[in-house]
Amino acid sequence: MISGFFKRLKDEISYLRNKNWTLSEMGKFWDNLKEYDDINSKIYPYQMRFLNSKKLIDEINLDNFNPNNCLDIQTRTGNGSIFWSKKFPNAEFSIADFSKSFLDKSKNNLKEKKILFKDYFIDAFPLPFDNDQFDFVISYETIEHISEYKEFFNELIRIVKKDGIIILTCPNISWEIVHFLAAIFNINHSEGPHTFLKKKQIDDLIEANNIEVLKYNTTIFLPFNIKLSIKLDEFLNHVTPKLIKEKLFLRHTYILRKI
């Protein structure tokens, strides 16, 4: 935990100060995070990004929503595509990432699962997709890793079809200090180049575009992988008032529709 402390501290401070990193710089950071799946594969908050967004989609009960073309942006190791392929087994997935090593891992993981996909390495905007190309776009904890986050959001709107669905998740800005301390004490991996956004910043982006919020929630207060803690977190999620959750809970999840 203490070994490398000062280097980690220096790195985390630099991430907080630098607000103009490139997509290539972000990709290089993720290229060096070899243990991503080892860290995240069984962690409660990581799994909940998928489970909670599916819960919200199911609650909407969208008639005839059976997408043919799905984009998994910053796919990392492909877990989002693998998760959603179970619900939409006939869909073709496009996986895109700014990290070449992540993209290679994602490709191998999807091949093992026999999931039909195309892959894209991205190092600049605009994204290499046509207008109105996708029925379904999933963006899990990505927007905060892109310094040009407004351009990124606009690109998501551009490439999704009318009536298409976007899942957008991002961490609550109140958790910045938690991620900072977890990284420097080597409790969890660093977030690398990032800027956690205020909820109002996300809401302003949505309002400025032709987008409808179908569902929204904020989840996870106790991010621990212990059965008792998970049960308590589920209870707190149920009883905590919405406004408090929006201020204190870990993750914002939006289900958006282009109108």
Q: How confident is the model at residue 2 (pLDDT cuts 50, 70, 90)?
A: low
Residue range 51-79: mean pLDDT, rounded: 94
pLDDT tens sequence across 78-121: 999 999 999 999 999 999 999 999 999 999 999 999 999 999 99
Extents of the domains making up the chain: 5-61+69-258
pLDDT at 158 over 60: yes
pLDDT tens sequence across 33-48: 887 876 776 789 999 9
Residue range 146-153: mean pLDDT, rounded: 97
Q: At the fourth CATH level, which superfamily is domain 5-61+69-258?
A: Vaccinia Virus protein VP39 (3.40.50.150)
Residue 1 confidence (pLDDT): 56
Cα 228 from Cα 208, distance rounded (Å): 42
Range list of H helices, 63-148: 79-87, 100-112
Which pair of structure tokens corresponds to residue 82? Answer: 């693998």
pLDDT tens sequence across 164-220: 999 999 999 999 999 999 999 998 889 999 999 999 999 999 999 989 999 999 999
Cα 62 from Cα 54, distance rounded (Å): 12
Element containing residue 180 per DSSP (H, E)? helix 176-184
